[in-house]
Amino acid sequence: MNQNENLDQALEQIDLEKNLNRIKYKILVLSGKGGVGKSTVSANLALSLALNGNKVGLLDVDFHGPSIPRLMGLEGRQVDMKNDKLVPVNFSENLKVLSLGMLVQSRDAVIWRGPMKMGAIKQMLKDVEWGDLDYLIFDSPPGTGDEPLSVVQLVKNATGAVVVTTPQALSTSDVRRSIQFCEKLNLPVLGVIENMSGFVCPSCGATHDIFKTGGGESMSREMNVAFLGKIPIEPQIVQASDEGKPYVYHYGKSETAQSFLSIVEQLVEKIKGAKT
Ligand code: ADP
């Protein structure tokens, strides 16, 4: 790399940090692998914080299928440009959303090569007009490979990570790696959420532990990280997500939405406790 390239990179990093410094708390949502509900948790976390009166941004940098536009009912929404910056889409007065899926309008699979991914992540951190926010929630790429690594390395002063798992051992063993990944990168683990934990049968009322239960909780204890709570398997979540009706927003009174809210309460307590 020559001197000019070095200078360009340093200037880019300064711009990026300037932009992110206007955000009080930056939370990365991670998972050991795909399909455990990371995007669902990211969206409902952002919504719950916004419903509590905070100014929130939700940034979807999951290359494997950016699902936030669909989950939030924002499919097909275009991102505007203002003064050379991307303007996130307003979901509500308190919640702004930007997803890779909004920047790549084609429904065809996009073949992202390494440097393109890095460039796209950088642009979504540096060239977005978030304004002043209380929280920015990152729906990060799953796993512990180059993609989440780029996100963690670029968001230098992140508040911490929330790790999503399902209860069975196959998933919790991947999550152990996610926690070690955070430790190696000096990213505080704010806590673990166990998703798809038990199913309450609507007919008989009995709880069935389809993917077992408690795996995330015992793993958290063992690894000495906070456990933030469990979310059950909830058929309404699937239906609501498919219909683009964000769950806690439309079904706020349900027991599962209350679980989300209590997780958020714990998370906020943990963040504010760590700050003082
Ligand atoms: P990831 O981001 O980890 O790949 P998603 O959030 O896209 O996972 O969720 C994968 C699928 O599982 C989606 O269809 C979503 O609606 C569903 N899902 C997520 N959490 C739950 C839950 N608690 N109960 C039922 N379905 C869920």
Q: Render the chain in DSSP notation, one character per residue.
A: --HHHHHHHHHHHHHHHHHHTTEEEEEEEEESSTTSSHHHHHHHHHHHHHHTT--EEEEE--TT---HHHHTT-TTPPPEEETTEEEPEEEETTEEEEEHHHH---SSPP---HHHHHHHHHHHHHSB---SEEEEEEEPPSSSSHHHHHHHHHSTT--EEEEEE-SSHHHHHHHHHHHHHHHHTT--EEEEEE-S--EE-TTT--EE-TT-SSHHHHHHHHHT--EEEE----HHHHHHHHTT--HHHHSTTSHHHHHHHHHHHHHHHHHHHHH-
User: 2 CA to middle of ligand 1, Å?
Assistant: 45
Contact of 247 with 40, CB cutoff 8 Å: yes
Taking residues 211-217, report their average pLDDT: 75
235 CA closest ligand 1 atom index? 25
CA dist list (Å): 210 to 201, 232, 233, 265: 11, 10, 9, 27
Reported as a pLDDT band with limits 50, 70 and 90, residue 273 is: confident
Q: What is the pLDDT of residues 67-122, one digit of tens each?
A: 999 999 999 898 999 988 999 999 999 999 999 888 876 666 667 777 788 888 88
The letter for the amino acid at 209 is: D
233 three-state secondary structure = coil
Give the pLDDT confidence score for residue 4 in this predicted structure: 79
Give the pLDDT confidence score for residue 276 in this predicted structure: 42
232 CA closest ligand 1 atom index? 23
User: 37 CA to middle of ligand 1, Å?
Assistant: 4
Taking residues 140-167, report their average pLDDT: 91
User: 8 CA to middle of ligand 1, Å?
Assistant: 40
Q: How far apart (Å, rounded) are the C-alpha atoms in residues 170 and 150?
A: 25
Contact of 140 with 62, CB cutoff 8 Å: yes
Residue that wins the pLDDT comparison between 167 and 37: 37
User: 245 CA to middle of ligand 1, Å?
Assistant: 14
User: 34 CA to middle of ligand 1, Å?
Assistant: 9
Cα 256 to its chain centre, rounded Å, is 19
Give the pLDDT confidence score for residue 55 in this predicted structure: 98
User: 152 CA to middle of ligand 1, Å?
Assistant: 23
233 CA closest ligand 1 atom index? 24
User: 203 CA to middle of ligand 1, Å?
Assistant: 23
Residues with CB under 6 A from ligand 1: 31, 34-40, 67, 195-196, 231, 233-234, 237-238, 241
Smallest CA separation from ligand 1 atom 6, residue: 37
- Specify which residues 128 forms β-bridges with: 86
31 CA closest ligand 1 atom index? 3
65 three-state secondary structure = coil
67 CA closest ligand 1 atom index? 7
The letter for the amino acid at 120 is: A
**CA atoms lying within 13 Å on the CB side of residue 253:** 0
Q: What is the pLDDT of residues 244-263, one digit of tens each?
A: 999 999 999 999 999 999 99
Answer yes or no: pTM beyond 0.85: yes
Q: Which of 28, 33, 40, 254 should be mutated for ligand 1, with most atoms under 8 A from CB?
A: 40
Q: Which region, left, alpha or beta, applies to residue 197 given φ > 0 means left and ψ of -120 to 50 means alpha?
A: beta
